[in-house]
């Protein structure tokens, strides 16, 4: 992403506007004649993603990160809102409508072994997108493309006929990366791609993604729990809480000046390499439990755990406000 051109002057590659994803939960009602409650997994998220940019998405488990990722690529259906890609609204498209779009938008999944078909060889797994989208390629051309991509992600060509169970988690994730990149897409959605890997392997995979991004001009949506990893790879970071936006800012601005109370609590829990600083730092613990997304609090969904809560927080749902560099959805703070 260009550092000379301000964000507001660039043309977004992907525009997400007030996207909501809900799931019916019939077992949550007390009587059969009652309306079926809806679980609000994503409850009105908006952002723009620019060419060559990495947008990190963070938040605790259950905040809607993975559901948002799956909505962007059509694995779950957006209940409302717009997902604008190349002038087309992807929200509500069926699998057939998403077929051509998935050539340009690919996904890397959290569990590297579970995302690979155990009955297919590594070569067949990586070649599968080519067979679906470029069926006119000869077997030799497909094999050549697969070998080139394997070499690029750090896999030896002589393992092309082996099966996923013969590889470590890090190697399986490299296979998943190769499969996602074989069609040369414009956007890769990374759904916690390093959370199941050892720390040393995490660094290798993250650095590989950064190298491939620079080489191929990719844009990334990078979802993770580890805020240190997100800071290392992201240009901007979106903080989510209970399906809502809490804060959206550049990586440097968010870590230097976390504004939302939830963001402050998250960052206070990040380990500091210096033992003295780590020992003396203050961790901002959140009180109470995460509310149910079936029946979220009125107004600000974070108010039940917020140290700055005021009576008016229960009345109106806050929206992201601020500059292109730093936005926050909290009525009790100002930038």
- Looking at the structure of the chain, the number of domains it has is 2
Residues of the chain with pLDDT > 70, as a percent, come to: 96
Give a yes or no: residue 335 inside a domain.
no
Tell me: the pLDDT tens digits for 3-36? 556 656 778 999 999 999 999 998 888 888 888 9
Give a yes or no: residue 112 inside a domain.
no
In this prediction, residues 275-289 reach a mean pLDDT of 77
Give this prediction's pTM.
0.91
| Domain assignment of residue 49, given as a range | 9-104+185-328
pLDDT at 2: 44
What is the residue whose two structure tokens read 């990366």?
177
In this prediction, residues 275-282 reach a mean pLDDT of 73
pLDDT at 283: 77
Tell me: the pLDDT tens digits for 112-152? 888 899 999 999 999 999 999 999 999 999 999 999 999 99
Tell me: the pLDDT tens digits for 240-271? 999 999 999 999 999 999 999 999 999 888 77
Do 146 and 178 lie in one domain? The reply is yes
pLDDT at 95: 80
Do 217 and 300 lie in one domain? The reply is yes
Do 253 and 207 lie in one domain? The reply is yes
Do 66 and 18 lie in one domain? The reply is yes
Which domain CATH number covers 244?
3.40.50.300
Do 206 and 250 lie in one domain? The reply is yes
Do 284 and 309 lie in one domain? The reply is yes
Give a yes or no: residue 126 inside a domain.
yes
* Whether the predicted pLDDT of 161 surpasses 90: yes
Do 142 and 238 lie in one domain? The reply is no
Do 138 and 286 lie in one domain? The reply is no
Do 225 and 155 lie in one domain? The reply is no
pLDDT interval class at 195 (50, 70, 90): confident
Give a yes or no: residue 111 inside a domain.
no
Give a yes or no: residue 110 inside a domain.
no
* Domain final residue, candidates 182, 211, 237: 182
Do 225 and 178 lie in one domain? The reply is no
Higher model confidence: residue 332 or residue 165? Answer: 165
Do 209 and 287 lie in one domain? The reply is yes
Do 66 and 128 lie in one domain? The reply is no
* Domain final residue, candidates 182, 200, 233: 182
Query: b/e per residue, 219-241, with b = 16+ CB within 10 A?
Result: bbbbbbebbebbbbbbbbbbbbb
pLDDT at 6: 64
* Domain final residue, candidates 136, 154, 182: 182
């Amino acid at each position: 992403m260009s550092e000379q051109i301000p964000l507001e002057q660039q043309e977004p590659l992907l525009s997400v506007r007030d996207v909501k994803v809900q799931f019916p939960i019939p077992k949550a009602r007390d009587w059969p004649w009652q309306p079926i409650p809806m679980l609000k997994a994503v409850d009105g998220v908006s952002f723009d993603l620019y060419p060559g940019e990495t947008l990190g998405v963070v938040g605790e488990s259950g905040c809607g990160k993975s559901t948002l990722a799956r909505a962007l690529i059509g694995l779950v259906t957006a209940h409302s809102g717009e997902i604008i890609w190349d002038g087309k609204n992807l929200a509500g498209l069926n699998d057939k409508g998403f077929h051509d779009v998935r050539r340009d938008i690919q996904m890397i999944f959290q569990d590297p072994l579970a995302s690979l078909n155990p009955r297919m060889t590594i070569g067949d797994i990586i070649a599968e997108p080519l067979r679906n989208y470029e069926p006119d390629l000869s077997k030799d051309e497909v094999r050549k493309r697969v070998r080139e991509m394997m070499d690029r992600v750090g896999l030896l060509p002589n393992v092309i006929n082996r099966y996923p169970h013969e590889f470590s988690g890090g190697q399986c994730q490299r296979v998943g990366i190769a499969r996602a990149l074989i069609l040369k897409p414009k956007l890769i959605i990374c759904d916690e791609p390093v959370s199941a890997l050892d720390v040393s392997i995490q660094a290798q995979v993250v650095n590989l993604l950064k190298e491939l991004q620079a080489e191929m001009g990719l844009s990334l949506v990078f979802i993770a729990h580890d805020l240190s990893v997100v800071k290392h790879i992201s240009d901007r970071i979106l903080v989510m809480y209970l399906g809502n936006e809490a804060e959206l800012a550049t990586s440097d601005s968010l870590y230097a000046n976390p504004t939302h109370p939830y963001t402050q609590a998250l960052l206070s829990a990040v380990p500091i390499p210096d033992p003295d600083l780590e020992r003396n730092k203050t961790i901002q613990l959140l009180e109470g439990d995460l509310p149910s997304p079936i029946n979220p609090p009125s107004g600000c969904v974070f108010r039940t755990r917020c140290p700055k809560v005021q009576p008016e927080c229960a009345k109106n749902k806050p929206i992201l406000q601020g500059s292109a560099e730093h936005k926050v959805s909290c009525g009790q703070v100002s930038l």
